[in-house]
């Protein structure tokens, strides 16, 4: 396949190149005498290009041709407004400020569209993994792209961070209880909260905007910790039918055919699993069980990242029960363990 064909199939690299080039050009011209001579006109022109012209071109060459979903125009517009607000001097922000009144509710519109699509998928398919439903909904709305995967990841974090705290975990094998991960998360959230207040008070002495950026990053860190903990608790690894459904919080997941398992072996030294191709599924302690595959398997991680592995090194909370269940499900393909 030629480079041109690839570019036509995936318009996002061209979008990043065009949008980045336009933003860089704006940064350069804003610092020139030409901008100083005509600030209002050039500020309006660059704001219009970033927020209206660029989305219009995206609609013509990507949305209209079916390479991207129409809803992708929303984040493109919102990002354009944000970039224009950072590049254009504050004295020429009148047009940007007007556009912000439009951009502010559009994020909520995007989230509402995803929630509506997730609800429709749930009605059609019934029960299932919430992360899979969210990714499917984002794929239908934004197109099957890295952008859709990143949006799905952010929504999944928020979903698990704010919901399901009174839910009972599904049947399966977790990996977070034996090392007191819940207590550790509580301590980390407390420390981040204290640090965030102190850092905000110190940084705002130099820059209020920078102080809020630091605080926002801290809040996102708390959101990630809570979401990942909930996913660890509510989405255990399970064996269903002829498939091992691996789940490691929001970090990694995969559907692995039991027929692909070549051996189940105890681990004695870290050299046995610290190598390329082995996925570690253990929180703080070292894994105790190695599941080797006859053929490479693909697991899916954060924000659309995929990884090909030939083994899993795991430490389940009920490690003996997990090993027994796995051996019972794959009696023919796995040799007996040796101590």
Is 4 a residue whose pLDDT tops 50?
no
Same domain, 245 and 324: yes
Pairing mode, if any, of strands 289-300 and 261-266?
A: antiparallel
Same domain, 120 and 228: no
Considering the domain boundaries, does residue 91 fall inside one?
yes
CA distance 75 to 224: 22
Same domain, 222 and 74: no
Model confidence band, residue 272 (pLDDT cutoffs 50, 70, 90): confident
List for the chain the helix, strand, coil content (%; round to 5): 60, 15, 25
Same domain, 253 and 205: no
Same domain, 29 and 100: yes
Same domain, 110 and 40: yes
Output phi, psi for 167, to 5 deg.
Answer: -75, 145
Q: Identify whether the C-beta of residue 156 lies closer than 8 Å to the C-beta of residue 227.
A: yes
pLDDT tens digit sequence for 159-174: 888 887 888 877 889 8
Question: What DSSP letter does each residue of 178-226 carry, written as one string?
Answer: TTTHHHHHHHHHHHHHHHHHHHHHHHTTT-HHHHHHHHHHHHHHHHHHH
Query: How many residues can be counted in the chain?
Result: 339
Last residue of a domain, one of 234, 259, 275: 234
pLDDT of 296? 92
Same domain, 27 and 141: yes
Same domain, 148 and 7: yes
pLDDT of 290? 92
Q: What is the dihedral of CA 229, 234, 237, 239, to 10 degrees?
A: 180
pLDDT of 331? 64
> Which pTM does this prediction carry?
0.69
Domain range for 291 is 238-329
Q: Which residue has the higher pLDDT, 55 or 127?
A: 55
pLDDT tens digit sequence for 72-129: 777 778 788 888 888 888 787 777 777 777 776 776 777 777 777 777 777 776 666 7
Considering the domain boundaries, does residue 173 fall inside one?
no
């Amino acid at each position: 396949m030629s480079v041109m064909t690839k570019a036509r199939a995936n318009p996002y690299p061209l979008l990043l190149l065009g949008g980045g080039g336009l933003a860089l050009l704006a940064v350069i011209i804003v610092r020139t005498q030409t901008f100083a001579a005509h600030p209002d006109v050039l500020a309006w022109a660059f704001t219009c290009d970033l927020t209206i012209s660029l989305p219009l071109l995206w609609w013509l060459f990507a949305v209209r041709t079916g390479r991207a979903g129409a809803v992708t125009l929303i984040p493109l517009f919102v990002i354009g407004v944000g970039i224009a607000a950072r590049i254009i001097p504050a004295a020429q922000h009148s047009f940007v400020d007007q556009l912000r009144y439009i951009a502010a509710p559009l994020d909520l519109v995007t989230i509402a569209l995803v929630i509506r699509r997730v609800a429709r998928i749930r009605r059609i398919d019934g029960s299932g993994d919430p992360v899979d439903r969210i990714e499917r909904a984002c794929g239908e709305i934004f197109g099957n792209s890295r952008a859709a995967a990143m949006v799905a990841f952010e929504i999944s974090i928020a979903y698990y961070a704010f919901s399901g705290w009174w839910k009972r975990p599904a049947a399966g094998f977790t990996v977070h209880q034996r090392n007191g991960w819940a207590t550790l998360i509580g301590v980390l959230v407390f420390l981040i909260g204290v640090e965030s207040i102190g850092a905000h008070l110190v940084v705002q002495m130099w820059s209020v905007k920078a102080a809020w950026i630091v605080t926002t990053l801290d809040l996102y860190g708390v959101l990630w910790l809570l979401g990942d903990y909930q996913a660890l608790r509510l989405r255990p690894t399970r064996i269903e039918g002829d498939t091992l459904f691996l789940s490691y919080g929001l970090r990694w997941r995969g559907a692995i055919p039991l027929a692909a398992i070549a051996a189940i072996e105890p681990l004695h030294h870290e050299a046995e699993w610290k190598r390329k191709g082995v996925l570690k599924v253990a929180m703080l302690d070292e894994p105790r069980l190695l599941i080797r595959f006859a053929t490479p398997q693909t697991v899916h991680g954060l924000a659309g990242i995929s990884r090909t592995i030939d083994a899993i090194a795991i430490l389940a909370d009920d490690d003996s029960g997990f090993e027994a269940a796995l051996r019972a499900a794959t009696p023919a393909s796995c040799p007996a363990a040796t101590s």
